[in-house]
Amino acid sequence: MDEGVQVTPVEPGLRYEVFHTDCLARDVVDHVTSRWGVWVLISLRTNALRFYELRESIHGISEKMLSQTLRVLVQDGLVWREVEPTTPPQVTYGLTDFGREIGEPLRELFDRITTRLPQEYKPVS
């Protein structure tokens, strides 16, 4: 069981040790599930958004973290970035195929949590 839990076989002989620290997939998972990555991906699920639209959609995010998060997601191939070199410049972000593929279960996760929780607020501390 030790094996079954931490190893996902990809091909016979090839093993994907996602629970290992030096695994690429683990990095991507970490990025996707990062504090702000989740919300960026969910925000972009329906349509592409401008930078400031994202900032306003995601309550509490700072410009620094937004651009930082976006940069990582673009690097991972989850989000595309398009620059319109006008003045003022317009930059639009949207989900790639990979991003949409990832966003779906994320959205599902998100939905299951919200429908499950009552709308009461309690101090979590």
Partner DNA sequence: CAGGATCCTATCCGATACTG
Partner DNA sequence: CAGTATCGGATAGGATCCTG
- HSE-CB for 50 with a 13 A CA cutoff: 8
Binding pattern for the stretch 63-102 against its own copies, x by CB under 8 A and - elsewhere: ------------x----------------------x--xx
Told to check if 60 binds its own copies by CB under 8 A, we report yes
Which residues contribute to the site for DNA (CB under 7 A)? 34-36, 50-53, 60-65, 67-68, 70-71, 81, 88-93
d(CA 59, CA 29): 23
3-state SS class at 45: coil
d(CA 99, CA 102): 5
**Angle at the Cα of 74 from the Cα atoms of 20 and 45, rounded to 5 degrees:** 100
Told to check if 38 binds its own copies by CB under 8 A, we report yes
Closest CA relative to residue 99, chosen from 83, 81, 82, 77: 77
Binding residue for its own copies, selected from 17, 63, 82, 84, defined by CB under 8 A = 17
Q: Which residues of this protein are in contact with its own copies, per CB under 8 A?
A: 1-2, 4-6, 8, 10, 14, 16-25, 27-30, 32-35, 38-39, 43, 46-47, 49, 53, 56-60, 75, 98, 101-102, 104-106, 108-110, 112-117, 119-122, 124
